[in-house]
Structure 1
């Protein structure tokens, strides 16, 4: 009965949405799942970089973007015909203008998603500094706004692992979330994902154990389970670290 009650809520407050399980404390050397990487960009004696690939069909962003552009072009063609717009009532003109604005916004949103959203935004773990560097691209549903990139830097000692469970039609499986807490407490001040959805929860537990052991200078496997990059459909690499943080995250303190 006590075990059942423990599973109902997290020790971390506030509890994460979709929470399923608190993962073992990071200094526990007897975690039940063997360490394993899902994907990795780089791993060496100083730092490790883990890519985070979203469960998005990027081809769909291109299809919707191109479809919206075709609609706008056809609509502009008809509006440019003699007397086409002038013969409309005021209400019809407003409806047409609003419809065009909506499709322009939709096209711009999906064009930005297709061309400029970084794929596989990384997290770097620097064990010499005991720091974690999280590359976050903050996009908005409003395409006319700036979508900034923010690098968050956390102390490894303040991070706790938790497993989330998603059960949507197109996103079913487990995620590894990292909760950043006030020093010495379970009071959460920030969260970030270390892995998007994986079908097998052992992959999530194994990745957490791998990170924990790596940050303690313990031997860990360096070959990931998945070595092939997901198809991105983007023509350019849009991940660009600020020069100072790029250097700091890949070097030991002097």
Structure 2
């Protein structure tokens, strides 16, 4: 794990730029899936094939009964079901993941707010384990790290920038979330976030590219348009966009 160092490039050219820059908070776009729709387009035909294969295997077992190769039949019946569940979870993630998973940096509250989508491959139909569950952390407990993984067949070297949240008392990492899937963008975003949190919006450059509203379908792919729009819960939306009131506990 390598801590992100100060970048040596022009921050104003970053694309996409922050969603919002104001006196109180800064918001970055984020996406945990780079190629939206690929999992669904490949997975749905596979699901139909496995569903048909499972029906055919069950039909043969119940039509002709068990034979001395009954163990083979068990494996043939269970195997497609396991594969069906695995592929279904990937397809569901592709279809249900929000079109944007923004991160807000509130400089007056000294906190960051993550529009975090949680999922679990084992509990496919559980509302508890699937869905948007925003979280907030203290800015001083957050660090950015680079994770380098060599993945043959996936473009070689993969460099993700992660945000690690540490317990200030034990220095133990209590959460780790994806910041960007690009080292260049991750360094730029982190530099912008630090400037904003330490010096305020006046320290930021005037960005060349205009911000976009990810809830607006204009310019998005068809698969992105099918994805759920960003909707923060009212209480955390209000908190993440405002300064603390006088006497408010932090």
Q: In which range does the TM-score fall when normalised by the shorter chain?
A: 0.7 to 0.9
Work out whether residues 149 and 158 of structure 2, in 8 Å CA contact, stay in contact via their aligned partners in 1.
Answer: yes
CA distance in 2: counterparts of 1:43 and 1:86, whole angstroms: 66
Structure 2 vs 1, CA of residues 158 and 106 (structure 1 numbering), >3 Å: closer, same or farther?
closer
Of the three residues 223, 226, 233, the one matched with 1:233 is: 223
What is the aligned length?
226
Q: Which residue of 2 aligns with 1:105?
A: 85
Work out whether residues 55 and 197 of structure 1, in 8 Å CA contact, stay in contact via their aligned partners in 2.
Answer: no
Structure 2 vs 1, CA of residues 62 and 44 (structure 1 numbering), >3 Å: closer, same or farther?
same
Of the three residues 81, 101, 104, the one matched with 1:121 is: 101
Task: Structure 2: give runs of 5+ residues left out of the alignment.
Answer: 213-218, 246-250
Work out whether residues 176 and 194 of structure 1, in 8 Å CA contact, stay in contact via their aligned partners in 2.
Answer: yes
Work out whether residues 47 and 88 of structure 2, in 8 Å CA contact, stay in contact via their aligned partners in 1.
Answer: no
Higher helix share: 2
Of the three residues 184, 188, 207, the one matched with 1:223 is: 207
Structure 2 vs 1, CA of residues 45 and 79 (structure 1 numbering), >3 Å: closer, same or farther?
same
Work out whether residues 52 and 196 of structure 1, in 8 Å CA contact, stay in contact via their aligned partners in 2.
Answer: no
CA distance in 1: counterparts of 2:51 and 2:243, whole angstroms: 54
CA distance in 2: counterparts of 1:100 and 1:244, whole angstroms: 44
Deviation at 1:114, TM superposition (A): 2.5
How large is the Cα RMSD of the aligned pairs? 3.3
Work out whether residues 119 and 232 of structure 1, in 8 Å CA contact, stay in contact via their aligned partners in 2.
Answer: no
Q: Could you state the TM-score of these two structures normalised by the residue count of structure 2? A: 0.72
Q: Residue 168 in 1 paired to residue 151 in 2? A: yes
Q: Which residue of 2 aligns with 1:67?
A: 45
Structure 2 vs 1, CA of residues 162 and 76 (structure 1 numbering), >3 Å: closer, same or farther?
closer
Q: Which residue of 2 aligns with 1:150?
A: 133
CA distance in 2: counterparts of 1:60 and 1:230, whole angstroms: 15
CA distance in 1: counterparts of 2:4 and 2:90, whole angstroms: 36
1:212 aligned counterpart, secondary structure: helix
Q: Residue 181 in 1 paired to residue 166 in 2? A: yes
1:66 aligned counterpart, secondary structure: helix
1:121 aligned counterpart, secondary structure: coil
Q: Which residue of 1 aligns with 2:191?
A: 209
Q: Which residue of 2 aligns with 1:242?
A: 233
Structure 2 vs 1, CA of residues 103 and 238 (structure 1 numbering), >3 Å: closer, same or farther?
farther
CA distance in 2: counterparts of 1:250 and 1:66, whole angstroms: 39
CA distance in 2: counterparts of 1:224 and 1:49, whole angstroms: 17
Structure 2 vs 1, CA of residues 156 and 232 (structure 1 numbering), >3 Å: closer, same or farther?
farther
Q: Which moved more, 1:43-52 or 1:180-189?
A: 180-189
